[in-house]
Structure 1
Amino acid sequence: MKTPPQNGFRRKIKTREQLLEAIGPRPRSEQVIMCHGTFDLVHPGHIRHLMYASEHADLLVVSLTSDSHINKANFRPFVPQDLRAMNLAALECVDYVIIDENATPIENLKFLQPDFFAKGYEYSSEGVHPKTREEMATIEAYGGELLFTPGDLVLSSSAIIETTPPNLAMEKLLALLHSEGLDFGDLKTALTKLKGVKVHVVGDTIVDSYTYCSLIGGTAKTPTFSVKHEREVDFSGGAAVVAKHLRAAGADVVFSTVLGDDALKDFVLDDLKAHGIDCHAMIDPSRPTTQKNAFITNGYRLLKVDKLDNRPISENTVEALKKQIAEHKVDVVVFSDFRHGIFNKVTIPQLTEAVPEGAMRVADSQVANRWGNILEFQDFDLITPNEREARFALGDQDSTIRPLALDLYKKAGCKLLILKLGDRGMITYRAPSPEVRSFFTVDSFAGNVVDAVGAGDALLSYATLSLVATKSNVIGSILGALAAAVACENDGNNPVAPEDVLKKLNALEKRSRFE
C-alpha cells in the first residue's frame, strides 16, 4: 500500500534538537536559511517569500510560532500549530519545519545558527523594527546574515481570515487525532463504553414550552400582533434535559431537583420516569415549576413568557439535597446550575462538600437571564462555560479567547475546562505535560442549525461520560462537540442518542477519506 502523503511530510517536522542534528553545526557543508512566522493561512505572499528564501541556500528551515504565543486577534490562531506545520512541510521548497515554543525566534537562532535569516520586505520598507534589530544582532554575533525577500506581493493571513475564513474543521480534527495518537475507531469505541456509568445530576428543572401560532395581523388601534394558537409542545429542560441526555447515552441516572406543586410537576415526573431516570424531586408548594414559553410564528420567536421564582431554596431543602448527594454512590456528580433557586454562594460549598469521595465533579453555570458564576464551583474536574459566562465570571470583556480561557482555567482550579464558543466550536484547557499541550480546539460540526437551544447540555453530557469511560479529554471534547452538533440540527430540546452521534462520526470519517 502506498504511504499516505502526510506521513512523508511529517518527517520534515522536527524538534530543535532533531533539526540541529540534521543540519549540523556551523560551519556546515550545506548552507541553511531560516524563515519565521505564524503562517496561520499559507497564502501566495508566503509562497513567494519561501521560494525566494529557498533559492539563497541549500536547505530551507521554516520556524513557526506556537499556538501559545499567538494573541494578535480573537479566535487565533485559526489553524492549530500541528496543522500549520503540516501545511508548510507539504511545500516542496521547504526542507524542515520547527514549531517554536518561544515568543520570538531569538533562542532558536542562537541554538541553530542558520547561515541566513529571511524576513519579508514589509519588515524593512519603513525602517527596521526593534524586534528585527534584536534578531539582526543575534545573527551577526555568530556570523550569519539577515536577508529581506522582495515585497511585490504582500498579503495578510489576518485579512483573509477576518473576511472569508475557510472551513478547516475536518483538517483540524484529523491533526488533533494524530497528535494524540487517536483515530475514528477510538471515538467509536468510546461511544460503546458510556453505558452503565453512574451519574447523579443536581440542578434546576425548566419546562421549555413552544407555543406555535399563525399570524393573523396587527390590530388597528395598538401596535399589537394578533396570532392564532395552533399547538403547544413541552420539553423537560434545564438540568432535566441534562439527565435525559445522560440517560439516552446509556448512563444510570439519579436526578435531584426542586419542583412546584402544579401540573407541570406531573409532566416532568412522568417524562423522566418514561426515560428511565430515577428522579428525587422535592416539592415546594410556595413556588411554581419553572417554565419558559416561547411563542413562535412562521419560524420566528415573537415572545417568551417565563413562569418562575428565583428565591433561594430553604435550608431544609438544602439539607435534603445534601443527604441525597451523599447517599448515592456514583461515578460522577453533575451540578447543572440555571440560577433558579438551588445554587448560590451559600449552597454551592455545602452541596459540593456532600459529593461522595472518588466521584468526579462536573459543573455548568448559565447566565442567560441570571447571574450564575462558574468560578463559584472551585476545584472541579470539569467545567463547561460559554464565552459570555467566562467573561462575566472574570469581569473581562477585552481579552482574546485563549488568554481568557487560560485565566478562567487557573482561577477555577479545575482539571479540565471546555469553553464553548458557539458556532466556532470550543477550546479545551488541561494540565500540560511533556507529552501533551495545555490546550486544543475543536470546531463545530453542526450542519443545518435548526435550534441551538440545549446544545451545551448535550456537550456537557457526552463529554462527561466520555471522560469517565476513557479518561481522555480529547475524546470527551470531540464526542461532546458532535453531540452538540446533533442537538443543533434538531428542533426542540430532545436528548441525543449515541446512534445519532455515531451517524455523525461515520459521515466525518467518510469525508476524511474523500468518499
Structure 2
Amino acid sequence: MIPSLANRFGHKIVVPEQLREIVGPFPRKKKVIMCHGVFDVVHPGHVRHLLYAKSKADILVASLTADIHIDKGLYRPHVPQDLRAANLAAFEMVDYVIIDGNAEPVHNILAIQPDYFAKGYEYNANGLHPKTSQEVETLASYGGEVLFTPGDIIYSSSHLIDLTPPAIRNEKLLTVMERYGVTFDGLRRTVEAMAGRRVHVVGDLIIDSLTNCTMIGGQTKTPTMSVLYESRDDFVGGAGIVAKHLKAAGADVTFSTVLGDDALKDFALQDLAKAGVDVLPQIDPTRPTTNKNAIVAGGYRLLKVDTLDNRSIGNNILNELVEALGATSTEAVVFSDFRHGVFNRRTIPAFIDAIPVGCFRVADSQVASRWGNITEFKNFDLITPNEREARFALADQDTPLTALASDLYDRTECRTLMLKLGDRGVMTFISHEHEKLGSYFTIDSFTDRVVDAVGAGDGLLAYATLTMLVSNSPAEASILGSIAAACVCEQDGNVPIEPEDVLVKLDKAEQSASYWT
C-alpha cells in the first residue's frame, strides 16, 4: 500500500521552534524565504508562487494558517490543517512546512526571521493593505525584505471551492488513522469487544410512527390534501433506540425512562423486552407516552403529528430515577436528552450528582427545535451535539464551524466533543490547545445513499460510547460512530444497528481507502 502524504512527507512538517534551530539565526549563509497562506486547495497560482519564491532563496518555508483562525466561510477550511500541511510538504520545491497557530504571520516572522517573505502580486497592485504594511515593517525591523511575486496569473481558491468542494473522504480518514495509530483490523477487534459492556441509558423515550397513505387528491374549495390510510408502523425511538442500538452491539443495557399509562407504553415495554433491554420505567398517568407520527404518501412525509407533554417530571419520579441511577452497577451512563420532561435546568444537577463514581459520562442533547442547552452537561467524558444545537447553545449563528466547536468544547469542559455535521460527517475535539496538530480532526460521512437520516445521531452515540469503553480512542469512536450513523441513514425507520452492519461498511471503507501498488 502506498504511504499517505502525512506519512511520506511528515518529516518536512515542523514547529516554528524547530525551524529556527534548523535554519539558524539571521543573518545566515543559506537564505530563507517564507510564504504564508491558507492553501485550502493548492492550484496553479500557488505552484507558480512557490516556484518563484524558491528561485530567490536556498530554503523555502511554507506557512499555513491553522484551522481555528480561518474565517472565509462557515465550513472552511474544507481540507484540515494536517492534510493541508502534508499537501505542501509533498512539493519538491518546499523544504519545510509550519502550521501557524497565530491569527497573523508576524509572530512567526519575528521568531524565525526569514531573509525574505513572499507575497502575491495582488497584495501590492493597489497599494499596501494595512496587514501587509505590518508584515513589511516587521521584516524591516531586523533586516528582512518582502518580495512580491509576478502577477501574470492569479487564481482564487475560494472561487474554485465554491464551484465544487473537494471530495477527500479517504484522505481525511487515512490521515486520522495514521496520526492516532488506528488500523482497520483494530477497528474490527473493537467492534467484537463491545459485547458485555454495561451501559445505563437515562432519557426520553419516543414512539416514532409512520402512517402510510396513498394520495387521493385535494379539495377544490380549500387547500386540503386527501389521503387514503393504508397502514401504520411504530418504532421505539428517542432514548429508547439508543438503548436498542447499544444492546444490538452486544452491551448489557439498563434503560430508565418515563412513560404514560397508555397503549404505547405497553408497546414500548414489549418491544424493549424483546430486544433484551432491562427497562426501569416510571409511569406517569398524567402525561401521554411521547409519540411523533409522520404521515407519509408516495415516499414523502407530508405532515408530522406530535402527541406529548414537555412539562418537567415531578419530584417523586425524579427521585425514583435518581435512586435507580445511583444504584445501578454500570461502566457508562448515557443521558439522552430530547427535552420531553426528563431533563431540564432543575433536574440535570440531581442526575449528574447521582452518576456512580468512575463511570464514563456521556450526554447527547437533541433539542434544536425546543428549549435546551448542551452546555448544562459540564465535565462529561463525551458529548455529541449537532451543529444547530451547538449554535443554539452558544447563541451564535455566524462563527465559522471550527471556532464554534472549539468554543463549545471549552464552555462544556468536556473530554471529547463529537460535533455532528449531517452529511458533512463529524468534527471531534480532544484538546483545549486548538491551534496545534491533533487537537481535533474531522471524519467525513460514510453514507452512500440516504433513505432516512432521522436517528443517525442515536447510532453514532451508541457505537461511539462503546468504542470509548473498549479502546478509549476518540479517533476509533468517531470512525465507528460515523459508520453506525451511515447504517441508520441507509434504512427506513428506527432499526437497531448490528455489529455485522458496521463491519460490512467498514470493509467497504477499507477497500475504498486502500491503494495497492
TM-score (norm 2): 0.95
Residue in 2 that maps onto 1:190:
190
Task: Structure 1: state its 5+ residue gaps.
Answer: none
1:309 aligns with 2:331: no
1:84-110 C-alpha deviation (Å, 9 max, x unpaired): 011111122222222222222223223
Residue 27 of structure 1, CA deviation = 4.3
Which amino acid in structure 1 is aligned with residue 11 of structure 2? Answer: R
Which amino acid in structure 2 is aligned with residue 352 of structure 1? Answer: I
Q: 1-side partners of 2:103 and 2:19: how far apart?
A: 19
Q: 1-side partners of 2:192 and 2:433: how far apart?
A: 29
Residue in 2 that maps onto 1:173:
173
Residue in 2 that maps onto 1:257:
257
Aligned residues of 2:248 and 2:496 also touching (Cα < 8 A): yes
1:165-195 C-alpha deviation (Å, 9 max, x unpaired): 0211211121122222323233222222222
SS of match in other structure, 1:153: coil
Alignment CA distance shift 1:7-1:415 (3 Å): closer
Residue in 2 that maps onto 1:271:
271
Residue 311 of structure 1, CA deviation = 2.3
Q: Which moved more, 1:436-445 or 1:306-315?
A: 436-445
Q: 2-side partners of 1:68 and 1:400: how far apart?
A: 9
Residue 114 of structure 1, CA deviation = 2.3
Q: Which moved more, 1:263-272 or 1:307-316?
A: 307-316
1:100 aligns with 2:136: no
Aligned pairs for 1:3-402 within 5 A: 7-402=7-402
Task: Structure 2: state its 5+ residue gaps.
Answer: none
Aligned residues of 2:82 and 2:437 also touching (Cα < 8 A): no
Which amino acid in structure 2 is aligned with residue 489 of structure 1? Answer: E
Residue 29 of structure 1, CA deviation = 4.0
SS of match in other structure, 2:141: helix
SS of match in other structure, 1:330: coil
Q: Which moved more, 1:182-191 or 1:261-270?
A: 182-191
Aligned residues of 1:82 and 1:179 also touching (Cα < 8 A): no
Aligned residues of 2:257 and 2:280 also touching (Cα < 8 A): yes
Aligned residues of 1:450 and 1:491 also touching (Cα < 8 A): yes
Q: 2-side partners of 1:368 and 1:38: how far apart?
A: 32
Residue 127 of structure 1, CA deviation = 0.8
SS of match in other structure, 1:142: coil
Aligned pairs for 1:499-514 within 5 A: 499-514=500-515
Alignment CA distance shift 1:404-1:27 (3 Å): closer
Which amino acid in structure 1 is aligned with residue 446 of structure 2? Answer: F
Q: 2-side partners of 1:508 and 1:332: how far apart?
A: 29
Q: 1-side partners of 2:121 and 2:38: how far apart?
A: 16
Which amino acid in structure 2 is aligned with residue 117 of structure 1? Answer: F
SS of match in other structure, 2:485: helix
SS of match in other structure, 1:264: helix
Residue in 1 that maps onto 2:442:
441
Residue 369 of structure 1, CA deviation = 3.7
Q: 2-side partners of 1:115 and 1:411: how far apart?
A: 42
- Supply the RMSD in Å over aligned alpha carbons: 2.0
1:340-395 C-alpha deviation (Å, 9 max, x unpaired): 11111111111221111111221112224421221222222221111121122222
Residue in 2 that maps onto 1:491:
492
1:22-50 C-alpha deviation (Å, 9 max, x unpaired): 43444444332221111011111111111
Aligned residues of 2:69 and 2:403 also touching (Cα < 8 A): no
Alignment CA distance shift 1:185-1:297 (3 Å): same
Which amino acid in structure 2 is aligned with residue 470 of structure 1? Answer: S
Aligned residues of 1:345 and 1:376 also touching (Cα < 8 A): yes
Q: 2-side partners of 1:172 and 1:278: how far apart?
A: 39
1:235-288 C-alpha deviation (Å, 9 max, x unpaired): 100100000111111111000111112221111111111111001112222222
Aligned residues of 2:78 and 2:166 also touching (Cα < 8 A): no
Which amino acid in structure 2 is aligned with residue 60 of structure 1? Answer: L
Residue 432 of structure 1, CA deviation = 4.2
Residue in 1 that maps onto 2:470:
469
Aligned residues of 1:238 and 1:338 also touching (Cα < 8 A): yes
Alignment CA distance shift 1:163-1:250 (3 Å): same
Aligned residues of 2:418 and 2:426 also touching (Cα < 8 A): yes
Residue in 1 that maps onto 2:452:
451
Q: 2-side partners of 1:299 and 1:427: how far apart?
A: 31
Which amino acid in structure 1 is aligned with residue 293 of structure 2? Answer: N
Q: 2-side partners of 1:499 and 1:147: how far apart?
A: 58
Aligned residues of 2:409 and 2:417 also touching (Cα < 8 A): yes
Aligned residues of 2:74 and 2:398 also touching (Cα < 8 A): no
Q: 1-side partners of 2:136 and 2:5: how far apart?
A: 37
Q: Which moved more, 1:16-25 or 1:97-106?
A: 16-25
TM-score (norm 1): 0.95
Q: Percent identity?
A: 58
Residue 316 of structure 1, CA deviation = 1.1
SS of match in other structure, 2:77: coil
Residue 2 of structure 1, CA deviation = 8.0
